[in-house]
Amino acid sequence: MDWLQIVVLALLQGLTEFLPVSSSAHLILVPALTGWPDQGLAFDVALHFGSLFAVLLYFRRDLISMTTSWGQSLVTRQPNDDARLAWGVLFATIPVGLAGLAFKDQIELYLRSPFYLALGLVIFGLLLGWADWRFRGSRTESQMTWKDVFVIGCAQALALFPGTSRAGITITAALLMGLNREAASRFSFLLSIPVILLACLLKTKDLVEAQVPVDWGSMGLGILVSAISAFLCIHYFLVFIKRIGMQPFVVYRILLGIALLVVFY
C-alpha cells in the first residue's frame, strides 16, 4: 500500500469505529471507488489496535477508577457507581461474544454484501433517529439499571449484521432506555473496549496461523493515524453531541446506503 491508502483507511477506521455510521460500509465503499487492493489482515489488526489505544487513553481516568472500584466490590460486595459501571460493561459484552461465536461465520458467508450493508445502514439509521427524537431521556450512565444493561448488551449483538454499526445500535438502545445523549455515547465508547480487544485477539490469532508477512512500517503508520483520529473523534463527538443530536448521522447513513446501491448495483 502507498501512504495515501494507509492514511485514508486509518482515518476511516479511527472515525467510523466510534461514530454511529458503520465502519464496514466505508471500508468496502472506498476501495471500490478508488480501485485499491484489499489492505490485508495484518493492516486490519493494526487499525483496530490504534482504535483500542485511543479509547483506552481517552477514558484512562475512568477506567482506573472503574477497575479499582470493581476489584473492591469483589471483596466488599457493595459496589459503588464506578463498580456498577464496570460490571455493566462486562455483562453487556456477553451477548455479542456469544452471538459472534455462534453466527459470525454464517454472517460472513451469507450477509457480507453491499445490499445488506445498505439495508442495515438505512433501517438502523432510521431507528437511531426515532430513538433520539422520541425516547431520549435525562439519565446518566451511573443511573442505569440491570435491565438497561441487558437491553443494550443484546442490542450490541445486532451489530454483527452488516451496516448496523456497533456504536449506532448501542447508542440507539441506550436512548430507547431513557439515557441522555452524552451518557448513551459514553457507555457505547466504554463498551467498545472489550469488543475491540476481543476482535484484535481473534484477528491476531488468524494472522499468526496464516503466517502472513508483515509490513511493519505500514502497520506503524496505520496505528498512529487510527489512534489520533479515533481520539479526536471521541472527544469532539462528546463535545458536540448535545448540540447536534443524532439526526445528521441518520441523514448521512441513508445517503451512504444509497451510495452503496448506486456503486455496486
Residue type, 172: T
Give the integer Cα–Cα distance in Å for 19 and 58.
Answer: 15
Provide the whole-model pTM.
0.93
Q: Is residue 143 exposed (0-12), middle (13-18) or buried (19+ Cβ within 10 Å)? A: middle
Q: Are 226 and 13 in contact (CB under 8 A)?
A: yes
Give the integer Cα–Cα distance in Å for 79 and 178.
Answer: 23
pLDDT tens for the chain, 265 residues long, are 788 999 999 999 899 989 999 887 887 788 878 888 877 777 888 898 999 999 999 999 999 999 999 999 999 989 999 999 999 999 999 999 899 888 877 777 777 788 999 999 999 999 999 999 988 888 999 999 999 999 999 999 999 888 999 999 999 999 999 999 999 999 999 999 999 998 888 888 877 787 767 788 888 999 999 999 999 999 999 999 988 899 999 999 999 999 999 988 8
Name the one residue in this structure whose C-alpha cell is 483520529.
Answer: 229
